[in-house]
Structures are given as structure tokens and as C-alpha cells.
Structure 1
Amino acid sequence: MDFLVPLAGTLIFGFLGAVGFYHAFKRYNPDDHFLDIMSTYPTWMQFVAELFLWMTKKLFPEQVHRKVYRAAAFLFGVLMCGFISIFWIFR
């Protein structure tokens, strides 16, 4: 029974990490948007991702904005993998 909490954490944070890695490594098309799968997210996650995307568009030029957004998405995925490992180490 002591493996249920790490397993639940793996499922939750694994989903969020997979979404982060998806946005970091997906192929860019000019008519495509980064937020095309936001309808599957919880509302708070959609708000945070759209706010961050809006901030990067306002603060950086177009080429740099995409790289900053991808780097942040990759770091988010790595952070979620770190949370998963903490769940399993300290169970």
C-alpha cells in the first residue's frame, strides 16, 4: 500500500512532464500554435501556460520568443521528472 502515493504522483506529474516535453520538442509550423492541446489541461494550467506564452511574445522578438518558450517547457518537464523521483526516493 505504500506505493500508491508515489504511483499517483507519477501519473499526475508524469502527465504534466510529458506535456512540457511535447511543447519543447514539437516541430514548429508557422500556422501552428503552441497551445493547440490546451483544451485537455485543467483550467489553472491553461491560464499559466497562456500567460507565460503571452509574456514571452511581449518581451522577446519572434525568434528568441520561441526558443525561450521551448527552454522553459523543457525545464518544466525536467522539474516534473524531479518531482517523480522525489516521490519514489522518499516513499
Structure 2
Amino acid sequence: MSHSEREKAKLLNRVRKTRGQLDAVERALQGDQDCGDVLMLLAAVRGAVGSLMAEVLEDHIKYHLTDASQERIAPELADDLIDLVRAYVK
């Protein structure tokens, strides 16, 4: 996973924000809000989870495939892979 306390704190903060968004979905469903509003909230949650997944995957590529890993790849290839992942996770 992440290799610094700052990065770990950043990821945990994103998880907490995503949890808040999911709580908003629950409240909207309990409050019988309009389907369109619920769908907007769900789209935000999906985006947040996808973004978090991309961030964790990016860290994995940077720290486990390019640094002191046995299966080392070139940093340029890692950047290309990160761009590709970000494009498909959205």
C-alpha cells in the first residue's frame, strides 16, 4: 500500500469522504428523495471509489513495480501504465 504516513492519511481521508457520500445515499433513500437525486449521489460515490482505486493502484505501481521490486519495470513504463489505468477506471 502507501509508503508514507502522509499518503496513508490522504487515502484514509478519501475513504471517510466516500463514506459520507454513501451515508447521503442512505439518507436520500430513507427520505424518499427523487430518483434523479439518488442517481446523482450514486454517481458521486462511484467516482470517489474509482478515484480511490486508481490512487491505490498508482501507489502499487510506483512502489512495488519500480523501486526495490524483483519484477521491476522502467519508470516511463510505469507512468504509461498509470495513465492507462486512470483512463479505464473512470
TM-score with structure 1 length normalisation? 0.45
TM-score with structure 2 length normalisation? 0.45
Larger Rg: 2
RCO higher in 1 or 2 (8 Å CA, sep ≥ 6)? 1
